[in-house]
């Protein structure tokens, strides 16, 4: 088989969006599975839609996700440049070739003329198509107009054909009737290439074997196939990945909340969880298999003909759930490193404290991680391990601090804890169990108010884990504080 070479070709028009990330990932899977090459090409010739900084943001997001490529803007490669804006001579040469062979022509129609034509067509109810007016201009006419300084576009001169058939590796044969096409523009009046043209010229020059991209480009593919043939290039294989729709099956947009990799990152998602989630948008590990799937596992079994044909539905709850699963299982040291910026951001620790208390932070992370789904939640769940309690949960207060004899119970508890020398999980638990037995009370009667006293909350990790982590001094202080508070509540 010919060497597999695929590409991810983002336009720098904003952040790396979930759809773009999924396209990059599926190209990556395919390249790695086939021991081929993944090329990153920046399609930056549309200066109007371009947003500053977005190239850097896209590259950072890809790297953060762990999607690496073999050739591209930063490391180069044999088929560069990897920015389209640095490849303009490729496009003008290819266009000149088409003009030479009379497969393309200069068109001098102005925007006003074209608009008048379109208006007429709309009125007559005919298809909106360029009339082909400039098709037959003679060489002299063209030269004269160029000498006058007019800025033409270059259009492809479509030959007669019935239909174009795209053989898509995911969708099978897709037919496009000839009336869907007119002499489309390949070079714009500012001399920059139109997307379809640049894409074909580059995919050929970069020896791309498989074009794997979003379904929204399927309608461009027949035009591109036409261009491949006109230029005498071999047509690569195509695979169009299904759309990603919003939960209400409308087009996914900003109003559906976080949709870019950087937003997921800011929410506190781990790259591995995002990768796992993106994998499931079109790929299935197979009936009855766990949805927790690593890139290595997917690479082993990946195949384009098994990628889903139907639209994937974006479900942030599923991403968050998956993220929770990863947080629970993750390497503790790595998870701590990811958690620290969230603790700083939430004002829970300062950067200096984070450096000095690394092992304590790690122990907190270990204790809270099973109950949280994002790093933001992890930070919130860690707060009372670092900060004093300034407020008690409202409902908890009513339920547990108004209990009869609660202050007496808490001071008994406090006394027992004060007597412990080695203040660890086992000993704190033993002290509380003995107390419950002696007083003949149910566990909840003392455990719930103690939890509220120590954490300010009604839910937390195991109470004795919390005690051991807080340490004796803070436990005693917080119990004392709660007892005072309860006494004030009563008076």
Residues 6 or more apart in contact with residue 433 via CB below 8 angstroms: none
Question: Quick check: helix, strand or coil at residue 444?
Answer: helix
**Contact present, 42 and 12 (Cβ < 8 Å):** yes
Catalytic residue among 35, 123, 254, 395, which? 254
CB atoms near residue 14 (< 10 Å): 16
**Closest CB to ligand GLU among 49 and 387?**
49
Can you tell me the distance from the alpha carbon of 488 to that of 467, in angstroms, rounded to the nearest whole number? Answer: 25
Between the CA of residue 218 and those of 46, 291, 399, what are the distances in Å?
20, 29, 61
**Closest CB to ligand GLU among 193 and 396?**
193
**Closest CB to ligand GLU among 80 and 341?**
80
**Closest CB to ligand GLU among 10 and 456?**
10
Extract long-range pairs of 394-402: CB within 8 Å, 24+ residues apart.
Answer: 395/458, 396/448, 396/452, 396/457, 396/458, 397/452, 397/489, 399/448, 399/458, 400/448, 400/449, 400/452, 400/458, 401/449, 401/452, 401/482, 401/485, 401/486, 401/489, 402/489
**Closest CB to ligand GLU among 40 and 372?**
40
Can you tell me the distance from the alpha carbon of 154 to that of 183, in angstroms, rounded to the nearest whole number? Answer: 9
Q: Which of 305, 308, 27, 23 is nearest to 172 (CA)?
A: 305
**Closest CB to ligand GLU among 73 and 461?**
73
Residues 6 or more apart in contact with residue 484 via CB below 8 angstroms: none
Contact positions vs ligand GLU (CB under 6 A): 9-11, 43, 199, 213, 217
- Cβ at position 224, least distance to ligand GLU in Å: 8
Establish whether 254 is a catalytic residue. Answer: yes
Can you tell me the distance from the alpha carbon of 23 to that of 28, in angstroms, rounded to the nearest whole number? Answer: 9
- Cβ at position 61, least distance to ligand GLU in Å: 14
Can you tell me the distance from the alpha carbon of 218 to that of 25, in angstroms, rounded to the nearest whole number? Answer: 19
Distance between terminal CA atoms of the chain?
85
Can you tell me the distance from the alpha carbon of 321 to that of 289, in angstroms, rounded to the nearest whole number? Answer: 17
- Cβ at position 198, least distance to ligand GLU in Å: 9
Can you tell me the distance from the alpha carbon of 372 to that of 414, in angstroms, rounded to the nearest whole number? Answer: 29
- Cβ at position 265, least distance to ligand GLU in Å: 21
**Closest CB to ligand GLU among 77 and 132?**
77
Can you tell me the distance from the alpha carbon of 348 to that of 26, in angstroms, rounded to the nearest whole number? Answer: 39
Residue with tokens 């004392």: 480
Can you tell me the distance from the alpha carbon of 397 to that of 403, in angstroms, rounded to the nearest whole number? Answer: 9
Can you tell me the distance from the alpha carbon of 449 to that of 457, in angstroms, rounded to the nearest whole number? Answer: 9
Can you tell me the distance from the alpha carbon of 406 to that of 420, in angstroms, rounded to the nearest whole number? Answer: 22
Burial 180-200, CB ≥16 within 10 A → b, else e: ebbbbbbbbeeebbbbbbbbb
- Cβ at position 30, least distance to ligand GLU in Å: 14
Q: Would you please indicate which residues are annotated as catalytic (active-site) residues?
A: 254
């Amino acid at each position: 088989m010919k060497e597999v070479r695929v590409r991810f070709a983002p336009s720098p028009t904003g952040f790396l969006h979930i759809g773009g990330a999924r396209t990059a990932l599926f190209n990556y899977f395919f390249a790695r599975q086939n021991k081929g090459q993944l090329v990153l090409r920046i399609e930056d010739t549309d200066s109007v839609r371009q947003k500053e900084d977005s190239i850097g943001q896209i590259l950072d997001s890809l790297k953060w996700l762990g999607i690496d490529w073999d050739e591209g803007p930063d490391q180069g490669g044999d088929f560069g440049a990897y920015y389209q804006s640095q490849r303009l001579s490729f496009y003008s040469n290819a266009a000149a070739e088409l003009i030479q062979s009379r497969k393309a022509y200069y068109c001098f129609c102005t925007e006003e003329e074209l608009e008048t034509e379109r208006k007429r067509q709309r009125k007559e109810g005919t298809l909106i198509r360029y009339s082909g007016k400039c098709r037959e201009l003679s060489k002299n006419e063209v030269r004269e107009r160029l000498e006058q300084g007019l800025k033409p576009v270059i259009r492809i001169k479509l030959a007669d054909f019935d239909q174009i058939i795209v053989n898509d590796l995911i969708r099978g044969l897709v037919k496009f009737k000839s009336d869907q096409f007119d002499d489309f523009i390949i070079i714009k009046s500012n001399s920059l290439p139109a997307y379809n043209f640049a894409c074909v010229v580059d995919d050929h020059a970069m020896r791309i074997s498989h074009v794997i991209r979003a379904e929204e480009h399927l309608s461009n593919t027949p035009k591109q196939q036409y261009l491949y043939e006109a230029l005498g290039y071999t047509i690569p294989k195509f695979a169009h990945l299904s759309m990603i729709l919003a939960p209400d099956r409308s087009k996914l947009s900003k109003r559906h909340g976080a949709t870019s990799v950087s937003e997921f990152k800011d929410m506190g998602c781990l790259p591995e969880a995002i990768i796992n989630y993106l994998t499931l948008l079109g790929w299935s590990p197979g009936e009855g298999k766990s949805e927790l799937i690593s890139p290595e596992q997917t690479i082993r079994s990946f195949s384009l003909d098994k990628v889903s044909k139907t639209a994937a539905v974006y479900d942030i709850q599923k991403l968050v759930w998956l993220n929770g699963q990863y947080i629970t299982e993750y390497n503790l040291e790595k998870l701590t490193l990811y958690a620290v910026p969230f603790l700083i951001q939430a004002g829970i620790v300062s950067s200096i404290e984070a450096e000095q208390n690394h092992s304590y932070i790690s122990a907190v992370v270990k204790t809270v991680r099973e109950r949280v789904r994002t790093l933001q939640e992890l930070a919130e769940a860690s707060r009372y391990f670092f900060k004093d309690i300034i407020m008690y949960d409202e409902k908890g207060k009513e339920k547990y601090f108004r209990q009869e004899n609660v202050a007496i119970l808490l001071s008994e508890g406090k006394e027992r804890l004060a007597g412990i020398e080695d203040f660890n999980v086992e000993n704190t638990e033993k002290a509380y169990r003995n107390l419950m037995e002696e007083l003949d009370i149910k566990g909840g009667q003392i455990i719930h108010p103690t939890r509220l006293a120590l954490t300010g909350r009604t839910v937390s990790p195991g109470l004795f884990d919390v005690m051991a982590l807080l340490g004796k001094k803070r436990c005693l202080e917080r119990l004392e504080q709660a007892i005072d508070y309860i006494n004030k509540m009563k008076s």
